[in-house]
Amino acid sequence: MRTVEARAWRARFTQLRTPVLSGFPRLDRQDVEAVGDDFDALVHLIQRRTGRSATDVIEQLQHIFTQQDDDGTDAPPADGRNGRSASIAQLRIEFGFAESEHPRIMDTLRKLDRQLRRFPASAVDMELAVKDRDTTAQKVTLEARLPNLPRIVATSNEPGLRDALMDVREDVWRQIKEQLDRSRG
């Protein structure tokens, strides 16, 4: 059974990176990227970060792989019109936000769906974080990795959370539009 997961990870690690990061929130994207297609290194990394046994980690990874297969997202779409399109629903909400705030955050950022839907879901990775929450030094960061575009990072120091979310939303929208316009010529 272990070889199935290892083979699946090697074949699809790029598409599975985002679901794995969502399934194991204590992982850093850079660490998972450094692991690349080495399944055993991934299991070891998750063990170190979570304190869970290898068996537990492998079982959860198997669940993630199976879930991706059931969703039909195991292979990237041939182009932006086929398969599942990216959406703000893929956003990983990192530290600084309460679970109860997630629906409101998603509603505030929903406008980005119009820009994101041109990309395949399997190729998009997004995360939102806040530092120094509810202080004068509050900083909200929205980061997006989109295929064939440079990494997009928007930050806001607005004191109100809703204002900061709208600020990063508009900045990401603008950056995506500028990068797409630039790539068209």
Q: Which domains does the chain have, with CATH numbers?
A: 2-71 (no CATH), 88-184 (3.30.160.100)
Residues whose CB falls within 8 Å of the CB of residue 136, separated by 6 or more in sequence, listed in order: 159
Q: Where are the beta strands (DSSP E) in the chain?
A: 92-93, 125-131, 139-145, 152-156
Q: If you average pLDDT over every residue of the chain, what do you get?
A: 81
User: Between 102 and 63, whose confidence is greater?
Assistant: 102
Q: Where residue 80 falls among pLDDT bands split at 50, 70, 90?
A: very low
Residue-level pLDDT at 118:
87
> To the nearest 10°, the Cα dihedral for 81, 83, 85, 89?
170
Q: Where residue 81 falls among pLDDT bands split at 50, 70, 90?
A: very low
- For a pLDDT cut of 90, what percent of the chain falls above it? 29
Segment 99-110 shows an average pLDDT of 90
